[in-house]
Amino acid sequence: MWALPELVEAAARVGDTELARDALNRLAETTQPAGTEFALGIEARSRALLSDGATADELVSRSDRSA
């Protein structure tokens, strides 16, 4: 379960945005149908890693509420 969020983070940190976005898309295929706050929070955190500015702040806030 944790492989895709970890892959998003690792790829984002090394600048491989293509790999990070692919992993995020695959992650969303499971988090969206689940629809739980936890799943959506993990997705939001992963999206925040690929965003900047206000968008990232908003996404991290959502992730914090689900923890």
pLDDT per position as a tens digit, 32-62: 999 999 999 999 999 989 987 656 566 666 6
Note if the pTM is more than 0.85: no
Please say whether the beta carbons of 42 and 31 come within 8 A: yes
| Average per-residue pLDDT for the chain | 86
What pLDDT shows up at residue 57? Answer: 60
DSSP-H helix ranges across 15-49? 17-34, 37-49
